[in-house]
């Protein structure tokens, strides 16, 4: 791992000292894109919800989720997704969750629990990066830089352990000269191993934490170029609240 690039990314995002004071994040998020119509949700569907992230373990809550009176709880340690009422009454559970995608194709439809699994691990990973690289079992090393759009981006190749649910165990993260994440590459394993180039931008400071508030996912080619004509998934973050360790509501 390149301590220099790793440290630069963390310092730019707000610093390890700030992250260590947190027990969670609450974010107002909009998720859209044409892929949801392909996965069985009405064309043009967007998901607007509050996500509550536990920064110590891979656990996230979406509320509301697919219906005004439902929420979704994803927990990686239990490999489970539970769709429940806002009062916490279970509606439907998928466990083991990852195995629930076996045999599905790119055009296979997803019910609410399958959708919850994909969005749950994805948003948790996005909102904890780059601090996620310091978590137990995560390995990262700097690889050769990448030239794109007239810029040179330094890159970290990151390997996630089985304990962390992610798009794929091997991913590549790109950073600009200021240490801001500009792109990430992965294989969307639960979506028929789709190659993805994922771009981040519109950075905003939330109480000391620098967050990319605009995310766009595109088809990536085998030569590592990306088709930037139209994104398959969009994520826009409207607000982020930092939940401190001394907050009585710290644990999601």
Is 252 within a domain?
Answer: no
Distance in angstroms (rounded) separating the CA atoms of residues 119 and 138: 21
Q: What is the pTM of this model?
A: 0.94
Is 39 within a domain?
Answer: yes
pLDDT value at 2 more than 80: no
Is 131 within a domain?
Answer: yes
* pLDDT value for 248: 47
Query: Which pair of structure tokens corresponds to residue 3?
Result: 């301590």
* pLDDT value for 1: 43
* pLDDT value for 193: 82
Average of pLDDT values for 203-222?
97
DSSP letters along 3-38, please? HHHHHHHHHHHT-HHHHHTEEEEEEEEEEE-THHHH
Is 49 within a domain?
Answer: yes
Q: 225: domain range?
A: 3-244
Total count of domains within the chain? 1
Q: How confident is the model at residue 252 (pLDDT cuts 50, 70, 90)?
A: very low
The chain-wide mean pLDDT, for the chain, equals: 94
pLDDT digit string (tens) for 120-173?
999 999 999 999 999 999 999 999 999 998 999 999 999 999 999 999 999 999
pLDDT value at 251 more than 80: no
Is 208 within a domain?
Answer: yes
pLDDT digit string (tens) for 17-58?
999 999 999 999 999 999 999 999 988 888 999 999 999 999
Question: Looking at per-residue confidence, does 106 or 158 come out higher?
Answer: 158
pLDDT value at 194 more than 90: no
Query: Which pair of structure tokens corresponds to residue 175?
Result: 């950073």
Q: What is the CATH number of the domain that holds 216?
A: 2.50.20.10
Q: How many CA atoms within 13 Å lie on the side-chain side of 113?
A: 19
pLDDT digit string (tens) for 75-92?
999 999 999 999 999 999
CA dihedral 22, 50, 100, 102 (to 10 degrees): -90
Percent of the chain with pLDDT over 90: 88
pLDDT digit string (tens) for 172-184?
999 999 999 999 9
Distance in angstroms (rounded) separating the CA atoms of residues 247 and 204: 23
Which residues contact residue 23 at a Cβ distance below 8 angstroms, ignoring those fewer than 6 apart?
54, 55, 56, 243, 244, 245, 247, 250, 251
pLDDT value at 188 more than 70: yes
Q: How confident is the model at residue 247 (pLDDT cuts 50, 70, 90)?
A: low
């Amino acid at each position: 791992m390149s301590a220099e690039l790793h440290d630069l990314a963390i310092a730019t995002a707000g610093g390890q000292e700030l992250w260590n004071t947190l027990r969670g994040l609450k974010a107002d998020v909009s998720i859209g894109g044409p892929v949801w119509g392909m996965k069985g949700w009405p064309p043009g569907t967007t998901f607007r919800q509050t996500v509550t992230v536990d920064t110590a373990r891979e656990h996230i809550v979406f509320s509301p989720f697919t219906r005004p009176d439902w929420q979704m709880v994803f927990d990686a340690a239990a490999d489970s997704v539970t769709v429940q009422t806002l009062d916490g009454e279970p509606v439907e559970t998928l466990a083991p969750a990852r195995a629930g995608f076996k045999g599905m194709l790119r055009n296979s439809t997803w019910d609410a629990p399958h959708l919850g699994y994909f969005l749950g691990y994805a948003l948790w990973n996005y909102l904890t990066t780059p601090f996620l690289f310091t978590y137990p079992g995560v390995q990262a090393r700097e690889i050769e830089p990448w030239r794109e759009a007239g810029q040179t981006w330094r890159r970290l190749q990151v390997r996630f352990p089985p304990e962390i649910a992610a798009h794929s165990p091997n991913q590549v993260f790109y950073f600009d000269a200021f240490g801001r994440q500009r792109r990430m590459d992965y294989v969307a394993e639960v979506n028929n191993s789709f190659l993805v180039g994922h771009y981040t931008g519109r950075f905003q400071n939330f109480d000391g934490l620098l967050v990319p508030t605009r995310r766009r996912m595109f088809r990536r080619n085998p030569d590592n170029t990306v088709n930037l004509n139209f994104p398959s998934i969009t994520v826009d973050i409207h607000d982020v609240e930092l939940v401190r360790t001394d907050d009585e509501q710290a644990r999601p």
